[in-house]
Amino acid sequence: MITTSRSIGVGLISVGWMGKLHARAYSNVPYVYPELGIEPRLVIAADTEPSRIDFARNVLGFAEGTTDYRDVLAHPDVDVVSICAPNFLHAEIGIAAAKAGKHFWIEKPVGRGFEETNAVREAAAAAGVVTSIGYNYRHAPAVEHARRLVAEGALGRITNVRAAFFSGYASEPNGALSWRFDRKLAGTGVLADLFSHAADLCQYVVGPVAEITALTNTVYTQRPKLPMGTGTHFAVIEDGEMGDVENEDYAAAIVRFGPSARGAGAVGTLEASRVAVGPECGYQIEVYGTEGSLKWDFERMNELKVCLGRNNDEQGYTTVNASPRHGDYARFQPGPGNSMGFDDLKVIEAKKFLLAVAGGEQANSNINDAASAAAIVSAAETSAETGQWQKLEDLDGTTAARA
Ligand SMILES: NC(=O)c1ccc[n+]([C@@H]2O[C@H](COP(=O)([O-])OP(=O)(O)OC[C@H]3O[C@@H](n4cnc5c(N)ncnc54)[C@H](O)[C@@H]3O)[C@@H](O)[C@H]2O)c1
């Protein structure tokens, strides 16, 4: 049943990889979820790079463009804003969006550490705006199924969790020195970029992390410079002017889950690398319990390995294909084997955000989840510097492991 149509004006801040993807995701919502009656209108896009504004207007279909993000926040036809700028602008823009009364979908990590994320959280709470975070891996149907198996107790008591987010985007020594490697622009390196996803995924599937100790390492200390707004962080530059890498390429942590976790008493490891040779988007979570275990890897996003029980005739892992029985899969493909992809996860994220804005189900990740993941990242950074275990507190309002 199609409900009354709800037109929602969209503003976009930054037209890079994520900005383009947010725009495509909004545009797909009416096709994928027609019964919601949600009609996003692409109102205005901002970027400091003029060619990207042209792209937003001429290709993505935004009615207006600007070099100043404040024009987006001040626009009377804008109801929701996507904040896809580099990390150093997240706190400034997130707080300004909240003050302007705009609901916002902001990319992870929200800011350069817990303090900035928490400032955005406080501003959003004071303004009462809906928030959504770019934790796209949550929406993979196989991950939703994994979460359900953990919640239903199919694995028994959760004993340990292993999350490893290994990417090769910086594995080339002449890989570009994008903003991601600059502490002022990005904050931490792989901790903010990939480890934050791993932290969120662990909390989403298993529950809040209570304690952490970590170490970090930088493999390549110099790279060729890349001007802002050009290329991507996958770019390779030969004979370019070199600059210093200011943050870590690799991070590893040991964690203990808290008492309110589905995995109360469970322990685990979180690891992330941006310089791995081999895995390109090897984002894996493995959950082990007293009665079974499961494994998921984003490179095989539509599969979940599940082992339930022991000493039976089917001992070992079963490969479960994502299918219309799992998550939002049926919205994209009619049967198992017709795989979904990364962009589809953003369409689900856009739907959850817009539905929450429209007063429907609040299934979106929110700024409290971002603050919780940021607390883990900041604690990992502190632990890596001091060698000490760090304690974490549960943050009210997170959706982590909420049924
Ligand atoms: N959820 C995910 O899986 C995922 C994946 C990639 C990136 N991200 C996050 O998305 C954010 C953006 O990353 P990206 O890869 O799209 O970056 P990008 O480098 O592709 O794009 C960044 C854009 O911001 C623009 N910009 C810079 N300063 C600006 C300003 N003052 N006002 C407006 N625009 C400005 C640049 O010109 C560029 O077009 C980051 O926070 C990153 O961590 C999330």
95 vs 123: CA distance, rounded Å: 6
CA 159 – ligand 1 centroid, Å: 37
pLDDT of residue 315: 85
Q: How far is CA 352 from the centre of its chain?
A: 14
pLDDT of residue 402: 61
pLDDT of residue 311: 80
CA-46 nearest atom, ligand 1: 33
271 vs 288: CA distance, rounded Å: 17
Closest by CA position to 372, among listed 355, 352, 392: 392
- Other C-beta atoms closer than 10 Å to the C-beta of 44 total 26
What is the mean pLDDT for each group of 10 consecutive residues in the chain (403 residues)? 76 98 98 97 98 98 98 98 96 98 97 96 98 98 97 96 97 94 96 97 95 98 87 85 96 94 89 96 97 97 96 88 97 95 98 97 96 97 98 88 59
CA 111 – ligand 1 centroid, Å: 12
pLDDT of residue 370: 97
313 vs 350: CA distance, rounded Å: 43
CA 5 – ligand 1 centroid, Å: 31
Q: What DSSP state is assigned to residue 168?
A: -
Beta carbon of 13 within 6 Å of any ligand 1 atom:
yes
Residue 386 makes CB contacts below 8 A (sequence gap 6+) with none
Half-sphere exposure of 317 (CA within 13 A, CB side): 14
CA 179 – ligand 1 centroid, Å: 9
Do 58 and 47 meet the contact criterion of CB atoms below 8 Å apart? no
CA-136 nearest atom, ligand 1: 1
Beta carbon of 189 within 6 Å of any ligand 1 atom:
no
CA 135 – ligand 1 centroid, Å: 15
Domain at 138-341+349-391, CATH homologous superfamily: Dihydrodipicolinate Reductase; domain 2 (3.30.360.10)
Beta carbon of 111 within 6 Å of any ligand 1 atom:
no
Q: Where in the chain are the domains?
A: 6-136, 138-341+349-391
pLDDT of residue 312: 81
pLDDT of residue 1: 45
Q: Out of 3.40.50.2300, 3.40.50.720, 3.90.230.10, 3.40.630.30, select the CATH number for domain 6-136.
A: 3.40.50.720
By alpha-carbon position, which residue is closest to atom 18 of ligand 1?
16
Beta carbon of 269 within 6 Å of any ligand 1 atom:
no
